[in-house]
Structure 1
Amino acid sequence: MRLRIYKRKVLALLLALGAAAACALTLWGSGGGGRPEGGEAFTPHSPSFPGTRGLLLPPPLPHLFPHNASAFPPPPPSKPPREEEDEDEDGLSLLSGPNATLRLRSLIYRLNFDQPLRNAHKWRPLTADHGNDAADTGAPWVALVVQVHSRPEHLSLLLGSLRQAKGVERVLLVLSHDVWSPELNALASAVDFCAVLQIFFPFSLQLYPEEFPGPDPRDCPRDLGRAAALQRGCLNARFPDSFGHYREAAFAQAKHHWWWKLHFAWERLRALRGLPEPGLLLFLEEDHFLAPDALHVLRRLWDMRQRECPECQVLSLGSYAAVRADDADFAAKARAAELKTWKSTEHNMGLAFPRETYRQLAACSEAFCAYDDYNWDWTLQHLTVGCLPRFWKVLLPQVPRVFHTGGDCGMHHSKKKDKAAADKASAACHPAAQIRKVEALLAAHRDSLFPEAMALSKRFPLAPLSPHVKNGGWGDIRDHELCKSYQRLQ
């Protein structure tokens, strides 16, 4: 009797399993699960994959999966996005909601991989009319690489100055962001005067808000002593900087971004791949402003380098020297250039150099990434005496063609003051007022711009120059290792 009861239970169980299997097969064949109609499998970047909208997942990373690019695991299907997200044309939905950080990381990896180039028809680096005029035989192609943080007013003013720069239609503009922002993206989308490409620093604080390289809550507070840090057991207790302080992610980011951008621009940008020499990258920041003849003067400086100083590794279009509108010698100075030892505190604006100089910098990756200074430019100063084959010599115009509009609103200013004072200073910062002074200066001497030729008027004594102080802020071994990895990242 008991055996007959067990047989009935087993039979009922088998019938139930058979019914479930039949149901599953029916759903599979009708497109109800696993595959869409037509039998095409879902793939991570398929337009039909729920919630991806073609951009949300990163490509396979060769440095993680060198032998099998398909090893990048696809995430499980998500619920279809809400209708209002589909209609969110400016991308605000990416900055909020569940998994916003992960979705933003994926978008940025995809954009860096795809490198969509706007106004691509304007980028003609190999055509005969690339130079300013027929006399520019052998003129270099030029790409402008701008480091952008989170100040749309400054970026708008920089782009306005570029629009007025003669010859800008023949350059490539690369905007390198460490903040994904609809407002900044809108400014980039409005550029119609040259080819423009946006790239995104993939290890920013925005993408890693609660873990390294962002501020990890398990990290040591800046001013915690080493003994107390070791007792507490915070993550970086064994790695304070030269002054006993622990890392501040916001200040470490600028050096990371600069070094990543350097390698990405020279090694990864497909728009520059395979271009013959000579070529120049001109490095700018969002709070810079260009004179109308800045690109013209850059090419004149390049010509001068070929004649007067082939050993000069860098050119600089900016300086912090005061220029007065009532200077009676302005016209003569506007067509004059100077030869100096490169100094980070004077010649870090509008820095331009060819691939040869980049290769020398890349060979010093270990020294750059281990030097305990959170400033990229002071670190370069250290390399000129501590690693590079020779100290840097720089050619620059006596009248700068790149001006600084940041005033006291930048990173160094806020680091020196407490938060309340820094907030007050930032509120009082008006870049438009700085621009009006520069525009008045240039308007007063409009006839002195665009010199047909430039002469080397001054040769200053040339000797190696070491940084007079090390600023610290870069003692964490994690910063060193991440920094060194940028050359290897694909």
Structure 2
Amino acid sequence: MPRLKYASILRVLVLVGLLCIWIQIMLAASSSGLDRDGEDMMNINETSEQVLALVPQELHKYLLVHPKNVTGNSTERAGPKNITSIRRAIERSNDAQTIYNEDIFGPVQNDTVIIAIQVHTRITYLRHLIVSLAQAKDIERTLLIFSHDYYDEEVNDLVRSIDFTKVMQIFYPYSIQTHPNEFPGVDPNDCPRNFKYNKALKQKCNNALHPDVHGHYREAKYTQTKHHWWWKANRIFNQLQCTTTHTGPVLFLEEDHYVAEDFLHMLALLRNTADKTCPQCEILCLGTYLKTYQYHLNSDKVEITPWHSSMHNMGMAFNRTVWASIMAHQDQFCAYDDYNWDYSLLHLSQNRGAVGKFKVMLCKGPRVFHIGECGIHHKKSNCNASTVIGKVQKLLQTASSHLYPSRVTATVTFGGAKHNKKLLKGNGGWGDIRDQELCANMTREGRQMKKYFFT
């Protein structure tokens, strides 16, 4: 009996051990999923009935997922089916420069408001951004440019289903998806992030000589965001045929933003106010990161202050004249050891010499909101888009009587000491000379974009 009892205990221990191993594998897979911006977990949370109730019936088509597309939100989305075909599709689309719905809403004018939307893989957030855009006054006069760093047919179908204004898609051609085993993706011979310098030299990994300011080596999933932002801006201002003579504003949004219905009205007020009273205000900003919102006090209030990356990077707009100033100091952006595009732009702003730092005019009552619970820097365990979106919807519903002010009142501030402090060194992640060279080369491409891929 003791021997049988011992055997039984042993079997139980083996089973428990196997169970522990299985749990670890599942946790690893879950962690891997979160590395893809929490997309899998987020998309499990379907749009709630409460959120749908606040969306006009005719716009539900942008939110409801057809059953056949369920796998589009699963882990299958992480693995490209055919890299060569995706590269060719991207090249064809970028060459074509198709503007959807142009026959309905007319061609792009020199003063058309262009809305540039940076898209990764978070389709749930993107659906809600599109719904918010669809409800905005005068949206039919704009051009939406969706800039993608991941080629996905479900996302493409969603974007091309937009019928309320002109739409264009552009595709970042140097993505991790299209370069999975080579730079700018992850080359097998690249140095791991935490390799010590001497060990990297001994191992002779590709970028051994170029750790960042903190002694770490590049991580492609982080460098891609800055590359994509820079490529997108260059593409819109320098390369598209429809923007050759464009002098209007370009408003920069991201897939996890949400706009108020009067955001274009407010942008026009900011432009008129800046033209008349603040010619030094080069950047206009519709979004702020406030914790509480008092629209009865601030709906028609704007602030003029030095531009700061962490406060004024959401819903910001500028024109070709400002872009020319950025281009004149592009080395300050591309060579700065920071993987964040906004901190790199802040560094550029602080190093424009006699021109001085960017001044921004921003809404005290924001018209652009951040709804992303999951992303590059946000890995919450409960990534329920509906919770945050519901709060923003109710906020705007409550504030509806304070929207569309006839004029705005501006106050001038000089920012706090923290926000005026000179950046001494960046956040790192951008020490690799290949990243700096790729960034610089993007500004050297002419309006006729060079061929990126070989067949």
Alignment TM-score, normalising by the size of structure 2: 0.77
Which of 364, 369, 389 is matched with 1:403 structurally? 369
Q: CA shift at 1:187, angstroms?
A: 1.1
Pairing 1:381–2:346 present: yes
Return the letter of the residue paired with 1:114. A
Structure 1 residue 481 displacement after superposition: 0.5
2:237 matches 1:266: yes
Does the alignment pair 1:105 with 2:87?
yes
Task: Please point out which of 202, 211, 219 is paired with 1:231.
Answer: 202
- In structure 1, the partner of 2:332 is 367
Is 1:252 paired with 2:218?
Answer: no
Deviation by residue 1:379-409 (Cα, 9 ceiling, x = unmatched) = 11111112363201100111000000013x1
Larger Rg: 1
Quote the offset at 1:466 in angstroms: 2.7
1:452 equivalenced with 2:403 (yes/no): no
Is 2:185 the counterpart of 1:214?
A: yes
- How far did 1:124 drift? 4.3
Q: Matched residues in 2 for 1:107 and 1:488: separation?
A: 24
Identity %: 41
Matches within 5 A, 1:137-152: 140-152=111-123
After TM superposition, give the deviation of residue 96 of structure 1 in Å.
6.0
**What is the CA–CA distance in structure 1 between the aligned matches of 2:80 and 2:257, rounded to whole Å?**
31
> Residues 337 and 455 of structure 1 are in contact (CA less than 8 Å); yes or no, is this contact kept in structure 2?
yes
C-alpha distance after superposition, 1:158-200 (max 9, x if no partner): 0000000101000000000000001111110110000000000
Letter in 2 for 1:153: T
Of 386, 390, 410 in structure 2, the residue corresponding to residue 436 of structure 1 is 390
Aligned residue number for residue 433 of structure 2:
477
Q: Is this contact kept in 2: 1:341–1:465, CA < 8 A?
A: no
The answer to whether 1:161 aligns with 2:115 is no
1:400-447 CA-to-partner distances (Å, cap 9, x unmatched) read 00000013x12123xxxxxxxx4xx2x511122111111111111211
Matches of 2:259 and 2:84, distance apart in 1: 37
Give the Cα separation in 1 of the matches to 2:120 and 2:91. Answer: 18
Secondary structure in structure 1 of the residue aligned to 2:429? coil
2:275 matched to which residue of 1? 306
Higher RCO (C-alpha under 8 Å, 6+ residues apart): 2
What is the DSSP-based 3-state SS (H/G/I as helix, E as strand, rest coil) of the residue aligned with 1:412? coil
Structure with the bigger percentage of helix: 2
* CA deviation string 1:73-125 (max 9, x = no partner): xxxxxxxxxxxxxxxxx9x99x766xx21221122112111111100131445
Q: 2:249 aligns with which of 280, 287, 292?
A: 280
Distance 1:241 1:126, change over 3 A: closer
Listed as ranges, the matches of 1:42-191 within 5 Å are 100-121=82-103, 122-126=105-109, 140-191=111-162
Deviates more, 1:281-290 or 1:118-127: 118-127
Instruction: Tell me which residue corresponds to 2:291.
Output: 322
| Aligned partner (choices 306, 314, 319) of residue 354 of structure 1 | 319
From the superposition, tell whether residues 349 and 287 of structure 1 become closer, same or farther in structure 2 (CA, over 3 Å): same
1:338 aligns to what SS in structure 2? strand
| Aligned residues: CA RMSD | 1.9
Amino acid at match of 1:373: D
What is the number of residues matched between the two proteins? 366
AA paired with 1:120? E
Do 1:331 and 1:445's aligned partners in 2 also have CA atoms closer than 8 Å?
Answer: yes
Task: Please list every run of 5 or more consecutive structure 1 residues that lacks an aligned counterpart in the other structure.
Answer: 1-89, 128-139, 414-421
Is the CA contact 1:334–1:398 (under 8 Å) kept in the aligned structure 2? yes
The 1-side partners of 2:213 and 2:372 are apart by 29
| Distance in 2, Cα, partners of 1:125 & 1:117 | 9
TM-score by length of 1: 0.72
Does residue 461 (structure 1) correspond to residue 418 (structure 2)? The answer is no
**Which residue in 2 is equivalent to 1:340?**
305
| Cα 1:410/1:119, change in 2 over 3 Å | same
Secondary structure class of the residue paired with 1:118:
coil
